[in-house]
Structure 1
Amino acid sequence: MLMAPVRQLGETERGAVERLLDRDPFAAAQVAERVAEHGLSWWRADGRVLGYGARRRVESLCWLGGHVTPVHASAPAIAAFADLLGGEERVCSSIVGSADAVLALWDRLAPHWGPARDVRPNQPLLATDVPPGISADPEVRPVRPAELDRLFPAAVAMYTEEVGVSPLAEDGGHSYRRRLTDLVRARRAYARFVDGQVVFKAELAVVTRRTAQVQGVWVDPAWRGRGIAAAAMATVVRDALDRVAPTVSLYVNDFNVPARRVYARCGFRPVGTFATILF
């Protein structure tokens, strides 16, 4: 069977792309945010949106930038995307998205892009649209721009612990700091400070008209086991629902049982499964 051609999509097909993204607002949130912000013009600098299917009838998408994210990717689309990407040098730091598509894509790309530094095949994707039924922590609030220097070390510690490499390794952390600065200015970074030090933090790393996706949740190791995370997350969820988006979503490693318990207490429910390939 002949595969439909894979092509880089442009503004003329934006409507079809947005309709496809809307079919799964949680799994497609990272791509949806970028399309909303930058469109699909060929000169976009932060990534490309590849499409599979007849013109004006896009069936599957694949975001290609700092990370690779397949969206509604059927088996034929996965094969076609892999044929194209396997002939290019890998520039992404991860493949992330719906588990079935990510793992199928990686099966085909591993001979060309491997080995991976880490494969996380089962990351529950969770969401909620109701305020948590537990008390919120009044000490958790959006971080102020003047507090960026206090937030940054905690953010570096979180990233290093979660991803396995330091964000300072590439360009001395300048890109990571710029990203954090943008989140703080947008009032999308939260923290609890004790004696000037961050003991809890989280960010609304992705925001679309359908959801706010929480990432970067972290508790200072010295404060773990004290039960502060659930109330802190309750504050984040309440504020995000009140001020930012109609739902709040996130994904978590299946082996992180304490975090999954916190999210369950805050009312998050399963809406899918992610997988991540880290390079």
Structure 2
Amino acid sequence: MATHPANEAPLSAPVELQNRHRRALTRLYDTRVEANLFQLCWLESHGVEAHARGQFTFWGLFDAERELQAAALDLAGRLVMVEAHDPSRCSEFGAFFLRRGTYFQHIVSRRACAEAFWRTYSAESSVQARLIQHQQLYVLTPAELAGGGEPSGLRRARQDELEAIFLASARMHREETLEDPLERDPEGFRRHVRYRIENGRTFSWFDDRRLLFKADISTRGSLGAQISGVYTDPLHRNQGIATRAMRDLCALLFAQGLPRITLYVNESNEAACRVYRRVGFRYCEPYQTVFIAD
């Protein structure tokens, strides 16, 4: 399908963004830094244009004055994240990707944008949701971090802990998504877990040889970090383990100069929400993940 430069495209047609659009893209995302922290960190690390075709693409919608009004980050046709000043405009991205035959595995965005995208993207029976998770976006700043409490044994995970962290990550994935990664793609999932450990993005707390807690840093940049993959061993839940470990992880990140930390959690997981609130996180806005059926 042909794409158009931003100064030639029809107003309703998404255009593939280029490096010259970086300032406009940043301005759009800056209107909701917490909700768009992943995209802002991605932009900071990778720029607007990928080095190799197909790695990722930023798409934009412009108004009559050629001001950027909405953006979509397409990560290799697997994941899409959408944002807009007017969330209803995300429906144009949904129709666009459906026409292109792009079949994502996940849609992750603040809820109003995700819902608008999904309404048009799922217009054909060939696109169905396996699971729609209503979530809550939380944010924490250094001044809000709860003090006190007994220190945990949290530290960066090591390669020799891969197997324990791999199994814990798989259990967490099953709990959160109702899908077993060991049945879908065990080796691909193992590579993903190994990559995060190798890059210092996984933190763990072991008691002797038993994993009590783990968490991942899904993204980080000058504007902050996002925590994901939080898991506490079922035998050690409701004992303050997660609260202590999360407090220490956030303190570590803030000590490195980060101004904010975000995470999103399933609305139904009230136990996790209580942990985050005890650490000092505050609710920001509704979020949503759509898991798309194969």
TM-score (norm 1): 0.90
- Alignment partner, residue 137 of structure 1: 151
Q: Distance in 2 between matches of 1:172 and 1:150?
A: 14
TM-score (norm 2): 0.86
Extract unaligned runs of 5+ from structure 2: 1-9
Is 1:147–2:161 an aligned residue pair?
yes
Structure 1 pair 209/136, CA: closer, same or farther in 2 (3 Å)?
Answer: farther
- Alignment partner, residue 120 of structure 2: 108
Is 1:239–2:249 an aligned residue pair?
no
Cα deviations across residues 222-255 of structure 1 (Å, max 9, x unaligned)?
1122221111111111111112621111111111
Q: Is the 8 A contact 1:13 1:56 kept in 2?
A: no
Structure 1 pair 80/142, CA: closer, same or farther in 2 (3 Å)?
Answer: same
Extract unaligned runs of 5+ from structure 1: none
- Alignment partner, residue 273 of structure 1: 286
- Alignment partner, residue 43 of structure 2: 35
Is 1:184–2:193 an aligned residue pair?
no
Is 1:72–2:100 an aligned residue pair?
no
Q: Percent identity?
A: 25
- Alignment partner, residue 61 of structure 2: 52
Q: Is the 8 A contact 2:88 2:113 kept in 1?
A: no
Q: Distance in 2 between matches of 1:149 and 1:263?
A: 27
**Post-superposition shift, 1:38?**
2.0
Aligned length, in residue pairs = 276
Question: What stretches of structure 1 move > 6 A for 4+ residues in a row?
Answer: none
Q: Which amino acid aligns with 2:266?
A: N
Q: Which amino acid aligns with 1:219?
A: T
Matches within 5 A, 1:206-245: 206-243=219-256, 245=258
The alignment partner of 1:239 has SS state of helix
Q: Is the 8 A contact 2:152 2:241 kept in 1?
A: no
Structure 1 pair 44/246, CA: closer, same or farther in 2 (3 Å)?
Answer: farther
Q: Which amino acid aligns with 1:200?
A: F
- Alignment partner, residue 5 of structure 2: none
Q: Is the 8 A contact 1:52 1:58 kept in 2?
A: yes
Q: Distance in 2 between matches of 1:44 and 1:29?
A: 24
Tell which deviates more after alignment, 259-268 or 244-253.
244-253
**Post-superposition shift, 1:179?**
3.0
- Alignment partner, residue 108 of structure 2: 96
Q: Distance in 2 between matches of 1:23 and 1:160?
A: 34
- Alignment partner, residue 161 of structure 1: 175
Structure 1 pair 266/272, CA: closer, same or farther in 2 (3 Å)?
Answer: same
